[in-house]
Structure 1
């Protein structure tokens, strides 16, 4: 059953529409992300859900109750939501325990103390309750901000680029920790981010946004392997396109030979298309039927991402195990191992 329903909302500033006819829903216990480039409307959508921005059309419901419409807006503090901001927004003059307890001022002292200790433990901040924010690292401060948002036991947690000020390793680790905490507490969450790795690591569903609307609302797996829009295919993951001609609804003629897709192509037989090839679709194989020249390489630890040039001049990406260390100009052999092949009309740029 949906906890949150966003139904065809529009919002903006002055004469500029930033969110346009946006719809999605979040089930109880589900974590979702709004993912997209800067200026796509994801933060405005989050602020409308929080009650910080009015909407000009549509409606927002939380637990079946209308909280936003063009005629009315329920104040943020009456929506049973928590919010974690990019800049943490901690009170520097309060201890960590007092920061966490800030939203519990109307609760009995015993209940406040029990809840604070529970959240200190849940967020890995045991023994730090009497410290002040400036005495903690950035990752620890973000945990405090999370604990403070969770303290009143909201039904929904909103997170606006909460990890963007952290280094990559800490960002990845903390995003997984936050997911575990939300799941264990049974709290639904919405993450706004431009980082697809962060969105994929945390979320059950992800909405890829552009120009104020969602182009695809799907699982991370489907967004990567079965993008329904050329922009989504370009924005998610890495990949290159090769030219093809539709032979049947499931097959294409390309410079790599006849390729078969896992779903029907909407283009008519004979039409020119572009077929998406991901780096993990090209597998190193000494007996492979595709010969290519190494033009670039990027070491990624367990893997190396190679840019390979075909005899035709087309360049594709391929992931090799890191012990397959080739040099620029080396000739390698690969084979296509693509279970998911998606095509888009030729020249249909995002």
Structure 2
């Protein structure tokens, strides 16, 4: 990936690359380590060389579209499925590789799924205690009360699951998984069955409980917002492979490729062709020292990073190092989206439509002239698809 900042590119001889694998966090032994996992179904690798580490108390979100191999990776980590290649280790001890395979019940992992799977004939307290060894249940009665307080259900022990709301049932499922103090917590789309308001509330409460317990958490989701909200690090997965790993800020602001950028938000894409190590566009010159002449590239920018100036008939704003040169267009459509407004602008130079968002309510009339500029520090330049 190249920066679209001309000064930055002038300082750098070549674009930096983001490593596809996670790097060691510290000298602390990871709670969970997946190393080179591979799983093949009907001749197709649904999990292909996946390596992830999860530290104690860390929440890592495995993020990607449906069918990319996220849930299969989670099932391999749990021991429900056995990989064709690679290894799984918990607290530095290998529990699965080509020579050995420890079953799920012997791995000290907690499992939470979209389906709460509570036992309807057992009370809440009995559901939570089910994960404890039979000989320990009486001795650990206090553990059940402690977890009920942690998940905000103090006093709910005598109730049955059908007497609870969906959010309350999900909290019970979380408490049950935490009851035996697992070293690793594996969660597969755990909040997707809840409505948005309730999902945010339960998710935030679950986050605080998981952090307090100190387990390493690997959470599967296809929702970028959920991953950004919960994760210490995000592992972005596509077609069975990890394409980028990093903190939410890093993975959002320094995407590995155009698809990675598009997974987190809408994009505007401007096609250009490199000549003499630069791109000539209606928005000014972009320096691209790492590209060969004739190579087509996409300049990518999110709608919130376009700068808008009304056309008052006196020409556009002056070009600047921060925003390049402005290009003129006319309003195609304007919609109020709640916290901001979405403006679609048809550009004069090629008839393409670019989308810009502005805070609050601003709805210019169709056909009104606008000047658009690109924030250079928020542009990405990728090889054209």
TM-score by length of 2: 0.82
Mean CA deviation greater in 220-229 or 58-67: 220-229
1:274 to 2:298 alignment: yes
User: Which residue number corresponds to residue 43 of structure 1?
Assistant: 71
User: Which residue number corresponds to residue 337 of structure 2?
Assistant: 300
1:256 to 2:256 alignment: no
User: Which residue number corresponds to residue 310 of structure 1?
Assistant: 347
User: Unpaired runs of 5+ in structure 1?
Assistant: none
- TM-fit CA distance, 1:247: 6.3
The structure 1 segments of at least 4 consecutive aligned residues displaced by more than 6 Å after TM superposition are: none
Distance 2:77 2:337 in 1: 38
Q: Deviations over 1:166-211 (max 9, x none)?
A: 1122223322222222112222211111111111111111111112
Mean CA deviation greater in 77-86 or 12-21: 12-21
**Given the alignment, which residue of 51, 55, 60 partners 2:88?**
60
Structure with the greater alpha carbon radius of gyration: 2
In the TM superposition, what are the counterparts of 1:174-193 in structure 2 within 5 Å?
174-193=202-221
In the TM superposition, what are the counterparts of 1:200-279 in structure 2 within 5 Å?
200-246=228-274, 252-259=279-286, 266-268=290-292, 271-279=295-303
Distance 1:316 1:144 in 2: 47
Distance 1:283 1:323 in 2: 16
User: Which residue number corresponds to residue 158 of structure 1?
Assistant: 186
Distance 1:52 1:196 in 2: 26
Partner SS, residue 378 of structure 2: coil
- TM-fit CA distance, 1:216: 1.1
- TM-fit CA distance, 1:32: 0.7
Higher relative CO (Cα under 8 Å, sequence separation at least 6) belongs to 2
TM-score by length of 1: 0.90
Mean CA deviation greater in 321-330 or 4-13: 321-330
- TM-fit CA distance, 1:108: 4.1
- TM-fit CA distance, 1:334: 4.0
User: Unpaired runs of 5+ in structure 2?
Assistant: 1-27, 311-315, 318-325
Distance 1:10 1:108, change over 3 A: closer
- TM-fit CA distance, 1:135: 1.1
Distance 1:147 1:316 in 2: 47
Distance 1:218 1:95, change over 3 A: same
- TM-fit CA distance, 1:307: 2.5
